[in-house]
Structures are given as structure tokens and as C-alpha cells.
Structure 1
Amino acid sequence: MAAQRRSTTYNRSLFHGGDLQWAQSYFSQAKGPWLDLSTGINPRAYPIPAISPEAWQRLPGGGEEQSMLAAAKKFYGASRSAKICAVPGTQLSIQMIPRLYARSQVDILSPTYAEHAASWKQAGHQVREISCLKEISEKARFVIVVHPNNPDGKTFEKSKLVALSNRLRSRNGQLIIDEAFADTNQDCSLVSEISQDGPLILKSFGKFFGLAGLRLGFCLGPATTIDDLRQSLGPWAVSGVAMEIATKALQDDIWISQTRRSLNTASEQLETLLREFGFNIIGRSSLFCCVQIDSSDKLFEYLCERGIYCRMFPERPGFLRFGLPNTEEDWQRFTAALCGWQKMAQTHLSD
């Protein structure tokens, strides 16, 4: 243990749970190399194909974009007539979409990805964070659901979400679904339910394909919203390099199928490991597992001091989220750290 324990009360405006460089700086005496379990990103990324010189040397043309969008529609199970827009990272769409609408009441199913509430508040909307679908107000024009939810992996019956979308449409509202973690199990996706009026669905390319640094996402939904978003983005919002890589990855059916199977297996292995150490499992997706523990801040710090970075949530004390280790060495290192934590906890109990 470090000679002097640091305070884990972090400045929310400065702290982002997935910022490995922050951890490396704050825990500078930790033994490296760092094992980053803080993100819900596939640790076995899609292999970068050879990139044409043209992708680097000139602006992307309409043909490249249309090829990528067609591949994305097929991968996500959207109809040919569905409206789709590519964005340079889903985060940007989360920030832009609230500014496309007049100020209204927005209900957000929480706890979830905090940037949704922050973005709608910054755009001047009245935001309510609710804990279940039954709490949705009749005054709410927009409802935000992350599905599967981040950080707990919670999902809902598709029929309930479809009914909610229809109810909101009847009062000129909109259901917005963030499906950043749905690509490992498309059975929970509502892309096939998209109509002229909704829902609006956000997709992240980087998580499933393990290429978050490419900064690419997609929005599918009502034509007016998609057109407004595309106009707000302006031309060449997505790079030609991103388009070329994504078009190949989205069409690689063999890699996609094998990766879905391997991620599901790894997620089950992670849940089993955490249960063996007595953790209270809140939920999981195929890319992460979330636990609740009274001493979450202490465990977070214990792991960081050993160069293992998981995801904590300053606004949700007690929650820790673990991404998937990659190599067998990573699994063994993580297991050894949990063994050390358990022994230390047992020693304290016996004192």
C-alpha cells in the first residue's frame, strides 16, 4: 500500500472515469504497464486494414460516405429507407441533439451515462432523472434510455420501449435510445422499429469494434432530426480514413460473428470471477460488469496503486465497473490483485 493514502474525492468537473492518463499521473508510483479495465471497449480491436493513400490525401466524397452508411444500415439491421447520419463520435451527437429541439421537459432513465443529462441541461431543457419507466411524466416531451444501460447493463422488453415511443410521438415527443453497447447482442436493438417518427437511436462504432480513437458513430431515426443533425455537422464531419476502415469492418461478417461469441464468453468469465470474490453484481453487458461495494473508493485506489484501472463513478458512490481483460496474463494479474484485496480485507476484519 502507498505510504500515505490519497483522498478519492475527485473534482467532478476535472475527473473522467475513463481517463487513463489521469490515473497514470495521479498514481504515478504504480507499477506498470497499466491494465486499463475502465472502458467498455472491446480489448481485441478490429485489425486495421491497409489504408489507401487517397483516404489521407483528399477529402472524402459522397460515394465513400454512402458506401459506409449502406454497410452500417445492414450491420445494424435497418431498412434501406431508414434515415442515417454518421457523426465523429457518439459523444458529439449527445451534445448536439438537445440543441435541435425547443426547450422542453426531458426524463432520463438513471443512473446512466452522465453526459446525457449534462448536455440537455446545458441546452436549457428541464431534466428529470428517473429510476424506472413508470416514473415517466406525462409532461415529458423527450425520454432518454441507454439500452443496454451504462453502467449496469439493464435492458427492457422491446415491446415496452416501442409502446413508450408511440406514446411520446402522440404528443409530439421523441424517445431517444443510446445503443452504444447493443452491438454484441442485436436482439435488444430497436433499429428495426424505426419509423418516420421515431425512435431516434444512437450507435457507437468504437466500442464493439474496439476502435474508439477513430471517433465514429451513427444516428438513425426520423428524417427531420437526421437532416437537421447532418446540416449542423456540415461537410466532411467524418474523415476518409474512418470511412474506409468502418466500411470494411461493418461488412466483415466472419469477424463480427466470432467477436460476438468471444465477448459473450469473456463477459461470463468476468462475472464468474467477480462472484467468486463475493462482489454484488449489479449487472453486465458483453463488454463490462458492474458491481456495488461499500468500500468502492478503497478498492479503486488499491487497484490503481497496482496499475489496474477500473471505472468509478463519483456521482454514484459504491459503483465500480470492470471492462474485459485481454490476454491470459491480464486475467491472471487482475485475479492476483483481487486475491490480495480479499486477504487484506480479511486481515482487517480479524483485527
Structure 2
Amino acid sequence: MNFDLTPPKHGGDLEAWQRLEHGAQHWLDLSSACNREPWPIPALSSKLWYELPDQFVLEEAATEYFGQAPLAIGAGTQQFIEILPPLLQKKRAGSTVMVPKMGYQEHAYCWRKWGYDVLEYQTVGELLSTAWDIAVVVQPNNPTAEYLGDDESQQLKTLLINSQRCLVLDEAFLDATPEHSWLNQSLPRGCFVLRSVGKFFGLAGARVGLLFGESQYKAAARSLVGPWPVATPAVHLVAAALNDKAWQAEALESLAERHDYFMATIVPKLNTLFDSQAIQYTPLFYTWILDEAQANKAFQALHSVGIHIRLGQGWVRVSLPAGHEMQRLNAGLVRLLQGHQLKELR
């Protein structure tokens, strides 16, 4: 293993910025891309803090919600991103891994950490004509918001069936558009699917992720995550969230309503601020591909009015605000666009 690699940066880091910048305590945090109207946490029985976790109730809820049983449940999809390299190394799956050039950087980082040869691709289509042993596809991609097309999905499935390759499909952001999920059908040989409750459900702090794939990997995956990867309160809370069909329907309606308002009222102002209309989005976040210098200036300008977003290399990402946050965001953008910061951006 290579422990000298520099870990990737992440969003959801408002408290770190608050420690760096005076007066940041009341900033609006739109950096993490998790649902800003999360599943409401009910009162918890104190006994949940005293007992070791039994995942049975969560496994039942997950099987019902996703349509098939998970191989393992762990501490967020991040834990499975960490264990898949040693899992597939043990299975002698090969050493060449392809990851998206623009995407969740922990994928590339973890494969490199375990000594794999990591190559980057620009488009999923490259996977259909390139030699590789393992590939990572994120749909929708974070931050590019791209989904697999139907033809691409079918060609990748055919490729897996007719080869010994492995595909890691990261569906962490897919709950708001479940029609795209590969879990809607039986998974092909060599496919692993990652799902999360941190995005659509807004339960990032619960640290719960799920791994789906061939049953032959079940024992190895559970051995690698260890005996109690998810705390007892999180087990019961997430099971309740997955079973809460009424909230899920309401959340989808809320996302659609907030999206309409955001596109009509907020996006024109952000287009002006970023001097770009190159927007791509999912139901949970909006990304602009920008010149790197412009992205940095826009990020700093938004900080000047107490708005924290995700800054990447040549892109910025804005989480869809909660309904009650829209006016605050709009007012901050109005102040910004009326002030001297806009002149500095141009």
C-alpha cells in the first residue's frame, strides 16, 4: 500500500472554513450536494445507545427498498470504495483500473493506494474500446451530472457477460432518479453497485452505505467491513427512512418544486456571476464548468456574502437549497451582483 498519497478534498466542509475565516458561523452551506430537506429524525430510544447493532432490520428494509439484498452494509459508500481494491486483489481481477477523469476522486485515490495501475477516461464510451480489468462508473456523475445512456448500459452489461472484467457502479446520487438504476434488474457477472442514504435522504451523518453484487463476494465483503460497521441508532434510523414511502414521495415532489424555483430565480443570477451558462445538474446539485481562475474568483465572491459552495478544478457545484433557504440565497446573490465583486469577476 502507498500511504504517501495526498487524500482528495471534499465538500461538506463548512466547519473547517469557519475555523479559517472570521465571521463564517452563519454561512449558507451548499457544498455537500446532500438533500437540504432531509428525512426527519424521530425521537430515539436510549437503549439504542447501549446495545451492539443487529443489522437484520436494516437488511430487510434495504432488500425491500432496492429490490434485492445487499452483499454488505457499511459505513457509507466510502467504506466500500476502500475495501473493493483489496477484495478484487484477492480475487486476482487484474491490475488496470479505469476511473472518470472528472468524478468522485476517492475512487482513483483508493485504487492507487492499493497499487493498481489507474487510468482516466473522459467519456464512458472509451470503456467500450479500451483494454481494462476494472472500471469505475459513477451515475449520475458527481460533479458532471452525467447518466449512462441506455445503449451504453447495455453494451457495458454485454461486455461484462462476455469477459472476466469487473465494473464498480457508484449510484450514490441515484435515489431521486431510480429508473436509471442497474438494481432494477439482475446484475451481470462482475458488477458491484454502491448505494448511499447520505444524498437523497440527507443522512450523511448516519454513515450508511450498501454494496450489491454477486453472492460469491458476500463473505469476503462482510469480513472486510468487520462485525459492527454501522452504529445501532443508525441501523434503526436508516431502516425507518427506507420504509417511509410517504416521505420519499413528498421528497421527490419537493425536489421538483425547488428545482423549478431554482432554475427560474437563482440560475440566471449564478449564470451572470459565473459568466457562463454551462450548467449541468441532477435533482440534488448543479455544476458549472468554468475556467479555473474564474471558478476561484466566484467561490471567493460567494464567500463574501456568506454562501459556501463546492470548488473543484475548473468547476463549481451548488447544492439545491431547502425551500426556506431560497430567499436567503437570492438576497445574497442580489447583493453580490449589485456590488463591486461582479466587476472584479469580469
Q: Residue 349 and residue 85 in structure 1: after superposition, are their counterparts in 2 closer, same or farther (change >3 A)?
A: closer
- Which residue matches 1:7? none
For residue 199 of structure 2, give the secondary structure of its aligned residue in structure 1. helix
Report how many aligned residue pairs link the two structures. 328
- For the residues of structure 1 that align with 2:8 and 2:106, how far apart are their CA atoms? 14
- Which residue matches 1:296? 295
Q: Residue 164 and residue 286 in structure 1: after superposition, are their counterparts in 2 closer, same or farther (change >3 A)?
A: same
Alignment counterpart, residue 108 of structure 1, candidates 99, 104, 107? 99
Structure 1, 133-142 or 304-313: larger mean CA deviation: 133-142
Compute the displacement of 1:165 (Å): 2.9
Compute the displacement of 1:51 (Å): 2.2
Compute the displacement of 1:90 (Å): 1.1
Q: Residue 13 and residue 190 in structure 1: after superposition, are their counterparts in 2 closer, same or farther (change >3 A)?
A: closer
The Cα offsets for residues 265-314 of structure 1, whole Å up to 9 and x where unpaired, read as 2233323334412342431111111113331111111112322110001x
- Which residue matches 2:3? none
Counterpart residue identity of residue 331, structure 1? M
User: Does the CA contact (< 8 Å) of 2:100 and 2:123 recur in 1?
Assistant: yes
- For the residues of structure 2 that align with 1:349 and 1:115, how far apart are their CA atoms? 31
Compute the displacement of 1:88 (Å): 1.1
- Which residue matches 2:310? 311
User: Does the CA contact (< 8 Å) of 1:288 and 1:324 recur in 2?
Assistant: yes
Structure 1, 341-350 or 47-56: larger mean CA deviation: 341-350
The Cα offsets for residues 220-276 of structure 1, whole Å up to 9 and x where unpaired, read as 111123331111112121121111111111111100111012112223332333441
1:27 aligns with 2:21: yes
User: Does the CA contact (< 8 Å) of 2:143 and 2:317 recur in 1?
Assistant: yes
- Which residue matches 1:95? 82
Counterpart residue identity of residue 111, structure 2? W
User: Does the CA contact (< 8 Å) of 1:86 and 1:219 recur in 2?
Assistant: yes
- For the residues of structure 2 that align with 1:55 and 1:276, how far apart are their CA atoms? 47
1:74 aligns with 2:64: yes
For residue 127 of structure 1, give the secondary structure of its aligned residue in structure 2. strand
Counterpart residue identity of residue 86, structure 1? I
1:324 aligns with 2:317: no
Compute the displacement of 1:169 (Å): 4.1
What stretches of structure 1 of length at least 5 have no aligned partner? 1-11
TM-score for the superposition, normalised by structure 2 = 0.88
Task: Give the 5 Å matches for 1:105-254.
Answer: 105-136=96-127, 138-195=130-187, 197-254=189-246
Counterpart residue identity of residue 257, structure 2? T
Counterpart residue identity of residue 122, structure 1? K
Percentage of matched positions with identical amino acids = 31
Compute the displacement of 1:332 (Å): 1.9
User: Does the CA contact (< 8 Å) of 2:59 and 2:70 recur in 1?
Assistant: no
For residue 257 of structure 1, give the secondary structure of its aligned residue in structure 2. helix
User: Does the CA contact (< 8 Å) of 2:139 and 2:170 recur in 1?
Assistant: yes
The Cα offsets for residues 191-245 of structure 1, whole Å up to 9 and x where unpaired, read as 1233362421101112111111111111111112333111111212112111111
Q: Residue 349 and residue 182 in structure 1: after superposition, are their counterparts in 2 closer, same or farther (change >3 A)?
A: closer
TM-score for the superposition, normalised by structure 1 = 0.86
- Which residue matches 1:56? 49
Structure 1, 47-56 or 12-21: larger mean CA deviation: 12-21
- Which residue matches 1:42? 35
User: Does the CA contact (< 8 Å) of 2:57 and 2:239 recur in 1?
Assistant: yes
- For the residues of structure 1 that align with 2:83 and 2:259, how far apart are their CA atoms? 32
1:272 aligns with 2:264: yes
The Cα offsets for residues 125-175 of structure 1, whole Å up to 9 and x where unpaired, read as 111110112222542111111101101211122442242133134221111
- For the residues of structure 2 that align with 1:108 and 1:58, how far apart are their CA atoms? 40
For residue 176 of structure 2, give the secondary structure of its aligned residue in structure 1. coil
Compute the displacement of 1:347 (Å): 4.2
- Superposition RMSD on alpha carbons, in Å? 2.2
User: Does the CA contact (< 8 Å) of 2:74 and 2:208 recur in 1?
Assistant: yes
- For the residues of structure 2 that align with 1:224 and 1:134, how far apart are their CA atoms? 29
